[in-house]
Each structure stands twice: as structure tokens, then as C-alpha cells.
């Protein structure tokens, strides 16, 4: 019995006899309100418990062997696909002329609608001679030896570029069907360039510019005779890896750029006037790429992607400033990497928070109930003695 009496003295929650307890309406109201608050807070805590917690970490990028994937979807509103080329190069001098392995061009009208009965255009960097025809096509005097054959228009143009000769396309048999359009036709259609390309993981650039591109003595050249080029464009999508909704992996999506003073050529006189008064433009986008890795809470494979910030600059070439009309993207990579990792909260943390909610709410509710009861009793005493005025 002595042990039981000693244990009773340690009871921190002594019971009050029913005869000495008073139940009030205010106490019932406080109990209902506090119980509702406890249930709501526990439900919110449960939602937080089952939702992974996203952490952010910054460290030096030591990854190796990853290629840089460039996803692009750009619409050129008033320049035909046959007059556009996409080129990419990196700081090591590795040039990827007329990138075409995963890039397609879709012909559009001037309102941005796809042309009916047209298939996406996929350019070919190098076309091998057909096995079905063993005849050797003429290079029209530009061949470098007796066995050099030019079986397509591109081979003839490359041979003439090597010789630095001017070419008359209407006299080249291989080019009669491919290059039958005039410069005036270049502005009668639009073009949407979609796809992706993989380049070396280092600083570099890529651009969309009019004319066929080629390299000559370490110089990058575009063969395009028309000087007045208005490059209104819309960047539907541009990213360097997989898309993450909460990160800045695609800040340029939906950007629309309209050239000033652009218009359609209704007749040949306006066309000649535009040629005599060139007003080409050059758009530069300087991108700062931050490598990013995203690790999900379900122990899945990490997702490697890239975030980037952008600075835009427009250059007017009408004042004889140096430059080439086009849309240029120059990028460089940060030496730091951002890691986003989803972490699941522990059950102990959830239980601790629930106990804190229950104890805290009912403690505050008890204080509030005592305050209300004391105030009501004081008010009643004053009413009884008539001192309440």
C-alpha cells in the first residue's frame, strides 16, 4: 500500500469529483471550436507528411561525359524554310553546319498556319550518290579531279564555293527543281523549326540565319544575296534538357518578337526599293546555363537538366554596322550545379507535430475558457448588486 500511495502522489492529472465540476455553455463552445481546429491542423499536417519536401543544394559541378541537349521550337514568321539554316558550334571550334539529324522544318503561311499537303522538311548535310544511277553528274568546271562527281545541287554549290565562283542556278541542271524560287518568294511563307540537337558540353552558340551555310578558311559564311531581312520570330520552346515545372528551365517559352517596319512586298517596285534600302536586324540572346539535377523521393534515377537566364540584345544593321542578319543564341555553362532533392518526412516528425497541435490548442482553449468563465461570473456579480451601469 505504501508503494501505491507513493505512486498516487506522482499523478499529474488528478480527477475532479463530479460534484465540484461545473459545465457551461461557453466551455462547450470553446471545446467544439478547439476540437475543430485540432482536426483541421492534424489534417493539414498529414498532407504535409505525405508530400515530399524539396531541398536545394549548390555545389561544384564535377559531372563528366554528359552531352548538352538543346530542345528548340522556333517560328520564323516571314522567311521561307528553303532560305533558312540552323548552325551550331562550340568554343573548341567544332562546327555543326546545317544541323539536321533531329531538326525538322514545317512550312507555314504568313498567318502562321501550316500549309496543306506539305510534309516537314528535313535537310541533309551530305547526300551520297544514288546506287541506282552510276552516272557521274557534271560539276560544270568546278571539279577538283577527273573522278569528282556532282550528282545533286548541293554538291555543285559546294564545288563552286570551294572555287569561290559565282553560280547561275538557272543553268545548273541539278538545281532546276530545288532552286526555282526567286528572292521575292523568300518572304511569302513562314517556317517553324522543331527538334533537338546534342552538342559538346562547353560554351558555344547556335543561330538561325538566312542562306545556306558553309565554312571557308575558318570563316563561317551564309550564302544569301538579299540584304533586307526582317526576322520576326516566336520562341515556342527553348530548353537545355528535360523540363521541370518549378525551375527556370524554359524562361523564353512563348516569347514573341516583331520586327519594326516589316511589311509584305505587293509588287516588284517595293521589292527593289527594299533592296536599295536594306534594314536587316540581328537578334542576340546571351544565355547563362546552370546545370541542374533533380532527384525524386521514390528513389528513381536522377534527372539531369539545365536552368538558364537570358539577356536579349537587338542590333539594327541599317547603319552599315557589322553583323549578319539572324537570330543568335550564345551560351556558357556555370561551374556550379544546383541539386533539387525530394525527401520524405519521418513518421516521428509527424507524430511530434500532432502532439504539439493537440497540447497547444487545448492549453490555449483551457486558458480561454477560464477567462470567459471568470469574466461572466464577475459580470453576473455586478448585475446582482446593481453596480453595472
| Residues 67 and 35 reside in one and the same domain | no
| 206 and 237 housed in the same domain | yes
Say whether both 79 and 35 belong to one domain.
no
Is residue 179 situated within a structural domain? no
Range of the structural domain that residue 367 is part of? 16-51+345-385
pTM: predicted TM-score of the whole model, two decimal places = 0.63
Q: Are 314 and 240 in a shared domain? A: yes
**CB-based contacts of 28-33 (< 8 A; 24+ apart in sequence):** 30/365, 30/368, 30/369, 30/372, 31/365, 31/369, 33/365
Structural domain includes residue 166: no
Around Cβ 385, how many Cβ atoms within 10 Å?
A: 7
* Region class of 323: left (phi > 0), else alpha (psi between -120 and 50), else beta: left
Q: Are 92 and 231 in a shared domain? A: yes
Q: How far apart are CA 202 and CA 91, in angstroms?
A: 7
10 Å Cβ neighbour count for 283? 20
Minimum mean pLDDT range among 68-72, 76-80, 217-221, 287-291: 217-221
Provide the pLDDT for residue 98.
Answer: 47
122 inside domain: no
Domains contained in the chain, number: 2
Confidence of residue 37 (pLDDT cuts 50, 70, 90): very high
pLDDT digits (tens, 9 = 90+) for 232-288: 899 999 999 888 888 888 899 999 988 765 544 444 455 445 444 546 788 999 999
Residue 298 to residues 249, 259, 340, Cα–Cα distance (Å): 22, 48, 14
Instruction: Find cell 560539276 and name the residue.
Output: 139
Q: Are residues 232 and 323 in the same domain?
A: yes
Q: Is residue 250 part of a domain?
A: yes
Residue 197 in 3-state DSSP?
strand
Examine the domain organization and report whether 208 and 350 are in the same domain.
Answer: no
At 101 the pLDDT is 61
121 pLDDT band, cuts 50/70/90, is: low
pLDDT tens column, 6-20:
777 776 667 666 666
Rounded distance between C-alpha atoms, residue 155 and residue 323, angstroms:
28
Residue matched to cell numbers 469574466:
375
Q: Are residues 356 and 332 in the same domain?
A: no
- Residue 165: inside a domain, yes or no? no
Same-domain check for residues 295 and 352 = no
DSSP state of 119: P
Residue identified by cell 524560287 is: 181
Range among 6-10, 58-62, 124-128, 153-157 with highest mean pLDDT value? 58-62
Pair 350, 219 in one domain: no
Q: Do 240 and 378 sit in the same domain of this protein? A: no
Strands 103-108 and 281-295: unpaired
> 3-state DSSP call for residue 192?
strand
Amino acid at each position: 500500500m505504501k508503494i501505491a500511495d507513493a505512486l498516487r502522489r506522482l499523478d499529474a492529472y488528478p480527477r475532479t469529483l463530479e460534484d465540484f465540476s461545473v459545465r457551461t455553455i461557453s466551455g462547450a463552445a470553446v471545446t467544439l471550436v478547439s476540437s475543430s481546429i485540432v482536426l483541421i491542423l492534424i489534417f493539414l499536417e498529414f498532407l504535409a507528411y505525405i508530400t515530399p519536401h524539396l531541398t536545394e543544394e549548390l555545389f561544384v559541378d564535377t559531372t563528366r561525359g554528359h552531352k548538352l541537349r538543346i530542345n528548340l521550337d522556333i517560328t520564323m514568321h516571314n522567311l521561307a524554310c528553303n532560305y533558312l539554316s540552323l548552325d551550331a558550334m562550340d568554343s573548341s571550334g567544332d562546327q555543326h553546319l546545317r544541323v539536321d539529324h533531329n531538326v525538322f522544318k514545317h512550312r507555314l503561311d504568313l498567318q502562321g498556319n501550316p500549309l496543306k499537303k506539305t510534309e516537314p522538311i528535313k535537310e541533309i548535310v551530305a547526300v551520297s550518290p544514288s546506287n541506282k544511277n552510276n552516272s557521274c553528274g557534271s560539276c560544270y568546271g568546278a571539279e577538283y579531279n577527273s573522278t569528282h562527281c556532282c550528282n545533286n545541287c548541293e554538291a555543285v554549290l559546294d564545288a563552286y564555293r570551294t572555287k569561290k565562283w559565282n553560280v547561275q542556278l538557272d543553268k545548273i541542271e541539278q538545281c532546276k527543281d530545288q532552286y526555282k524560287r526567286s528572292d521575292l518568294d523568300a518572304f511569302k511563307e513562314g517556317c517553324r523549326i522543331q527538334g533537338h540537337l546534342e552538342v559538346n558540353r562547353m560554351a558555344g552558340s547556335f543561330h538561325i540565319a538566312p542562306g545556306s551555310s558553309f565554312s571557308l578558311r575558318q570563316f563561317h559564311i551564309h550564302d544569301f544575296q538579299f540584304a533586307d531581312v526582317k526576322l520576326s520570330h516566336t520562341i515556342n520552346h527553348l530548353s537545355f534538357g528535360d523540363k521541370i515545372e518549378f525551375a527556370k528551365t524554359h524562361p523564353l517559352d512563348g516569347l514573341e518578337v516583331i520586327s519594326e517596319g516589316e511589311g509584305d512586298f505587293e509588287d516588284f517596285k517595293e521589292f527593289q526599293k527594299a533592296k536599295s534600302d536594306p534594314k536587316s536586324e540581328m537578334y542576340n540572346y546571351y544565355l547563362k546555363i546552370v546545370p541542374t539535377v533533380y532527384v525524386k523521393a521514390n528513389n528513381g534515377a536522377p534527372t539531369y537538366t539545365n536552368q538558364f537566364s537570358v539577356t536579349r540584345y537587338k542590333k539594327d544593321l541599317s547603319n552599315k554596322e557589322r553583323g549578319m542578319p539572324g537570330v543568335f543564341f550564345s551560351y556558357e555553362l556555370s561551374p556550379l550545379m544546383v541539386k533539387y532533392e525530394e525527401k520524405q518526412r519521418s513518421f516521428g516528425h509527424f507524430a511530434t507535430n500532432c502532439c504539439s497541435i493537440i497540447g497547444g490548442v487545448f492549453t490555449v482553449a483551457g486558458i480561454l475558457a477560464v477567462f470567459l468563465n471568470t469574466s461572466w461570473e464577475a459580470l453576473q456579480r455586478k448585475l446582482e448588486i446593481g453596480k453595472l451601469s
